[in-house]
Amino acid sequence: MPFSPHADFLAATLAAAKTDFPASCTLTQLRMVWHGHGLLELVPHKLAAHADHILISAGIHGNETAPVEVLNTLLGDIIAGRLLLQARLLLVLGHPIALKSGERYIDFDMNRLFAGAHRQHPDAQEALRAAEIERTAALFFSTTPEGARRLHYDLHTAIRGSVFEKFAIVPFLHDKKQNDEQQAWLGGCGIEALLLHSAPAATFSYYTSHHCQADAFTLELGKARPFGENDLSRFAGIEEGLRRLLAAAKPRLAPCPLLFRAKYNLIKHSDAFRLNLDDKVENFTLLPDGMVIAEDGDTRYIAQGGHERILFPNPGVKPGLRAGIVIEPVAA
Ligand SMILES: [Zn+2]
């Protein structure tokens, strides 16, 4: 069945085959352009010269459904005229197939396949999709005029609990400066902690930060649950922040969240890798000084100073991949 612009974007994306989408359609206030399955650009007919150019993505991991619902609500309000879009907007539903089956991924974690890493895994279906999303993002930002803001928020939820429930990851910036205004905006959305990455990564936000010169963030917004089981009131902060941003309304700003920096990755080199943390350990848990965090054959990872914390521990990854990040506070 052909897609109607007034239909539910999420439901239609999950139900549709790739070919069901029109190239574009025109509504009273804006034009909608489909760049592919779950890849939708919205351009207001009257776009101010310095309007923001905003990419919002969700569902890069198929089991992380709440941000997808938030994004779908915002889109429904834009189409119904309840939210007056004053920005150029690209919406990305990352992995429709995994979203449909409720799995994080099918062949390979898609958020390890950006910035060209998809070429190393040509057999994974996520590699094709990551390449398609990269092309779409690059095309979107390639027409952003000089001086306009380029923003990207990649929305996620996590399986494990977290000492700080809502946190943001700033991809490695190379020579770029941290954006204080964006940090205050994130604080206003209820983000409690910010992690500064210290090396390039194959994540979507690193790609748009480095290759599209966007102010890009991976946002971790709470617990991952299946469709229908999300308490969307827990996502009200980010929804309100995005709503104001899209309408070019005055943002809520708050003091900069707590700052951490990635110190080193725990790399799983072999199947002998052992992580000495409880399966249920929360993100941002403090690591006591001297603790052996993990062992892998002759390699031992030892906590130093008592200020380090663990992020994204996952001993189940394939050998060669990151099984966790050791982070430390950035001195104020
Ligand atoms: Zn995720």
Q: pTM to 2 decimals?
A: 0.94
For residue 117, give both structure tokens. Answer: 């890493």
> 125-142 and 204-211 are packed helices; what angle lies between their axes, rounded to 10 degrees?
30
The four Cα atoms 306, 312, 313, 319 give a dihedral, to 10 degrees, of -130
- Using the structure block, give the residue that is written with the tokens 């890493």: 117
User: 157 C-alpha vs ligand 1 centroid, how far in Å?
Assistant: 6
pLDDT tens for the chain, 332 residues long, are 445 666 678 888 888 765 566 788 898 899 999 999 999 999 999 999 999 999 999 999 999 999 999 999 999 999 999 999 999 999 999 999 999 999 999 999 999 999 999 999 999 999 999 999 999 999 999 999 999 999 999 999 988 899 999 999 999 999 999 999 999 999 999 999 999 999 999 999 999 999 999 999 999 999 888 988 988 999 999 999 999 999 999 999 998 789 999 999 999 999 999 999 999 999 999 999 999 999 999 999 999 999 999 999 999 988 998 899 999 999 76
The set of catalytic residues is: 220
Write down all domains in the chain, each with its CATH number in brackets.
9-246 (3.40.630.10), 262-329 (2.40.50.630)
User: 61 C-alpha vs ligand 1 centroid, how far in Å?
Assistant: 5
pLDDT of residue 159: 83
User: 324 C-alpha vs ligand 1 centroid, how far in Å?
Assistant: 14
E strand or H helix at 154: strand 150-158
* 314 Cα distance to chain centroid: 18
User: 155 C-alpha vs ligand 1 centroid, how far in Å?
Assistant: 8
User: 205 C-alpha vs ligand 1 centroid, how far in Å?
Assistant: 12
Task: Give Rg (Cα) of the chain.
Answer: 20
Measure the CA–CA gap between 122 and 109, rounded to whole angstroms: 13
**Binding-site residue positions:** 61, 64, 156
Measure the CA–CA gap between 186 and 130, rounded to whole angstroms: 26
The four Cα atoms 125, 41, 2, 101 give a dihedral, to 10 degrees, of 30
Number of residues that this document lists for the chain: 332
Measure the CA–CA gap between 260 and 307, rounded to whole angstroms: 10
Measured in degrees and rounded to the nearest 5, phi and psi for residue 48 equal: -60, 150
Please give all residues whose CB falls under 5 A of ion ligand 1, grouped by chain where several chains appear.
61, 64, 156
